């Protein structure tokens, strides 16, 4: 549909809307990386890529994810350490181990753990 430009009266074409992507995972879900040996609990979700350009460009081009998908902030762990990770939806799968994640920040954000999921603390809910 074309809309008239108020200043000229000529039809204009609306800007293309970005594709709508839906998050497959929710805050509190335990997930693991599809390619790398780490897992974590989701504590925030960006509907599309929202990190720095330097971070994005540092990913090798042959495995660089598309920007127009949800990206998840994880309290992550691997065999050596715990850390915060930022991961695209295409690189995550549900973790079916039913094991809790060992990260020191979990108790500050989450209360209980049921297999596969943490319960967000009441004071952090919207």
Domains, the chain, in order of start with CATH, read: 21-124 (2.30.30.390)
Instruction: Give the pLDDT of residue 54.
Output: 97
Report, as an integer, the average pLDDT of 34-39: 97
In this prediction the pTM is 0.81
Instruction: Give the pLDDT of residue 19.
Output: 58
Report, as an integer, the average pLDDT of 78-86: 97
Residue 49 has pLDDT above 80, yes or no: yes
With helix as H, strand as E and coil as C, how does the chain read? CCEECCCCCCEECCCCCCCCCCCCCCCCEEEEECCCCCEEEEEEEECCCCCCHHHHHCCCHHHCCCCCCCEEEEEEECCCCEEEEEEEHHHEEECCCCCCCCCCCHHHHEEEEECCEEEECHHHCC
């Amino acid at each position: 549909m074309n809309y008239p430009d108020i200043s000229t009266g000529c039809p204009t074409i609306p800007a293309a809307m970005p594709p709508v992507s839906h998050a497959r995972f929710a805050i509190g879900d335990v997930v693991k990386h599809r390619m790398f040996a780490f897992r974590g609990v989701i504590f925030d979700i960006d509907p599309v890529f929202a990190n720095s350009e330097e971070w994005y460009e540092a990913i090798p081009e042959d495995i660089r994810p598309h920007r127009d998908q949800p990206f998840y902030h994880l309290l992550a762990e691997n065999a050596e350490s715990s850390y915060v990770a930022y991961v695209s939806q295409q690189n995550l799968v549900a973790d079916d181990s039913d094991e809790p994640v060992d990260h020191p920040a979990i108790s500050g954000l989450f209360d209980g753990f049921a297999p596969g999921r943490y319960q967000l603390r009441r004071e952090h809910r919207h």
